[in-house]
A and B are shown apart, each in its own frame.
Chain A
């Protein structure tokens, strides 16, 4: 059994179709978040953004589809799973939920769960 069938191999996913391209996702724990804004600066595609000013400001995640914003004129945002936000957060408030996946030609295979570095010393 091939990892990717010939049919799938010949088919290029439509990048604007959310059934074909699943973007990576991160979550923010608002209790831990101290709203320093470092993650907002570190986020390349501007998926993480700050809303409001002063004490009421809140860090939010834009879940727009990569091309979904085109028609409405919104920014073209999607998570590339660089996880810079998670690494830069001093409060440990950001967690990766899922990593990116695609269908057909670019389907991810032989992949396991999101796992922190291990020493295998048990």
Chain B
């Protein structure tokens, strides 16, 4: 904002808002989760620059509870995918009552578990576990680079939220450089796996929390699209209204 604009605002003038989207809004509104990548590797300096954006994310008490692991070896990404798929195959007979040999017992078990784990066994991850176990859906979708986000378990307040802010910085910066990203929460299935903890060098106080696939997208998946609007309660001048 220029000095002149600032003076006018002080006088009580309405701030002018442009009709066009500004560059930041454009990046936010055009970001999509990309699940189809070109094999071309992302240059190292670009990955490091993207991580810088993550480093400058806000966090509770400025504790910065995040650490990163970058994986650019096909073999390791494939091995992780294989092990996540194996975990899904182990979970499927307990959860998927339609195909489970346990039949109604599995249905009771699955629904009871859903009471205790309402987020993990929400319809979307539930469907994904089955589809990954069946080999119909990939986990990482073949990215040349994978960024793993580790969370410091001792983080101040809500370190998961801080990690989300950090990841969003990474994802938006990547998109502004023409890259595609996709959050992969399923890396969580390897969190307690001693083999992977050792291989990736993850120790207390850090735990594997999220993964972000990174690569050049096939096509141009950045059109602006419609999305659900939500009700917002608006309190002003002693009244309340609901805006959508």
Alpha-carbon distance between A82 and B221 when the two chains are bound, in angstroms: 11
Interface residue tally of chain B, by bracket? 35 or more
B229→A112 contact, CB < 8 A: yes
Chain B 36-60 near chain A by CB (<8 Å), digits 1 or 0: 1000000000000000000000000
Chain B residues near A46 (CB, 8 Å)? 136
A residues 83-97 near B (Cβ < 8 Å) are: 83-84, 86-90, 92, 96
B36→A42 contact, CB < 8 A: yes
Q: For chains A and B in complex, what number of residue pairs have CB atoms within 8 angstroms?
A: 119
Interface residue tally of chain A, by bracket? 35 or more
Asked if A1 is at the interface of the complex by the 8 Å CB criterion, the answer is no
Q: A76-B136, A78-B127 are in contact. Are A84 and B32 (CB under 8 A)?
A: yes
Q: Which residue of B lies closest to A21 (CB)?
A: B123
Chain A residues near B230 (CB, 8 Å)? 110-112
Chain B 194-232 near chain A by CB (<8 Å), digits 1 or 0: 000000000000000000000000111111111111110
Asked if B137 is at the interface of the complex by the 8 Å CB criterion, the answer is yes
Alpha-carbon distance between A80 and B222 when the two chains are bound, in angstroms: 18
Q: Which residue of A lies closest to B31 (CB)?
A: A87
A106→B123 contact, CB < 8 A: yes
Q: Which residue of A lies closest to B130 (CB)?
A: A76
User: Which of A27-35, A53-61, A113-121 touches B?
Assistant: A113-121
Q: DSSP majority for the B interface?
A: loop
Asked if A99 is at the interface of the complex by the 8 Å CB criterion, the answer is yes
Q: A12-B115, A42-B36 are in contact. Are A102 and B225 (CB under 8 A)?
A: no
B225→A116 contact, CB < 8 A: yes
- Choice from B124, B223, B227 contacting A88 with Cβ under 8 Å: B223
- Residues on A lying within 8 angstroms of B by beta carbon are 10, 12-13, 15-16, 21, 38, 41-42, 44-46, 66-67, 70, 75-78, 80, 82-84, 86-90, 92, 96, 99-100, 102, 105-106, 110-117, 119, 121
